[in-house]
A = this chain, B = another copy of it.
Amino acid sequence: MAKLSDSGNLHQHISKQYDHELLDIRSRVLALGGLVEEQIESAVRALVEGDVELAYRVIEDDGKVNSMEVSIDEECTQILALRQPSARDLRLVVVVIKTIIDLERIGDEAKRIARHAIDLTQHPASDKQLIELEQLAAHVRVLLHDALDAFSRMDVDSALKVVQDDKQVDQEYESIMRQQISHIMEDPQSTPVSLDIMWISRSLERIGDRSCNICEYVIYYAKGKNIRHISIEQVEKDLSFE
């Protein structure tokens, strides 16, 4: 009897530890997400305020993003090797492995924005250009924040909303691009500035896309369905029939 109970305890202990590990990778993804959000915020502030020192700090801090990603990735491989998760737990680990790749690449975009912020101190952008970038950045930051929120609750509805909202961001991005092209054609001397604005907008638009990727993983986790490459209308229709 004593032996059985011991083995029961051991089993319970291992199972608790395993639950703890799964919780841990989830909360570490959110910590990485928080860091990446800060990086975007700082990069945009460096840009708007022409703060070169802050821009350099963003570039330097990208190392922190990278090492967090590597460390979570290693923890995931450890869990796969030692715990051999199945079903929902397995989907969680796979989703975490993919999500952190996107978060790390969002970090790279923040670094790119910081570099362009440094460039722009050489040939400042107009107030109008900065305001438009700030607006686009604010919307993209909401997308990422909502994507991380959908991840933290593994909530399909919030995830779908992000994918839907990204369309608005795409439109704002297209509008900035069109304006910069006319700007260049009217005043060729403004080319370097306008190109910096275009590259920054592009980085912001990519952050929106990657936030959508994270939401697709959330839906895959919750529903066991891979919705990548399917239109949002089709996905909503499919899910409503369940």
Instruction: Give the size category of A's interface with B.
Output: 20 to 34
A111 CB, min distance to chain B CBs, angstroms: 12
- Asked whether A48 is an interface residue with its Cβ less than 8 Å from the other chain, the reply is no
The minimal Cβ–Cβ distance linking A53 to chain B, given in whole angstroms, is 23
Chain A positions 215-239 with a Cβ under 8 Å from a chain B Cβ: 226, 228-229
For chain A, residues 63 to 122, give those with C-beta under 8 angstroms from any C-beta of chain B.
Answer: 63, 66-67, 69-70, 73-74, 77, 80-81, 84, 86-87, 90-91, 94, 97-98, 101
> Which one of A22-30, A32-40, A185-193 is at the interface?
A185-193
User: Does any Cβ of B come within 8 Å of A195's Cβ?
Assistant: yes
Check: A181 CB closer than 8 A to any chain B CB: yes
Task: Kindly report how many copies of this chain are found in the complex they form together.
Answer: 2
Residues of B contacting A69 in the complex (Cβ-Cβ under 8 angstroms): 228
B86 touches A81 (CB 8 A): yes
Q: Which residues of A contact B (CB under 8 A)?
A: 63, 66-67, 69-70, 73-74, 77, 80-81, 84, 86-87, 90-91, 94, 97-98, 101, 181, 184-186, 188-189, 191-192, 195, 226, 228-229
Of all A-B residue pairs in the complex, the 9 with the closest CB atoms, nearest first, are A84-B84, A66-B229, A188-B188, A185-B188, A184-B191, A185-B191, A81-B86, A70-B226, A81-B90
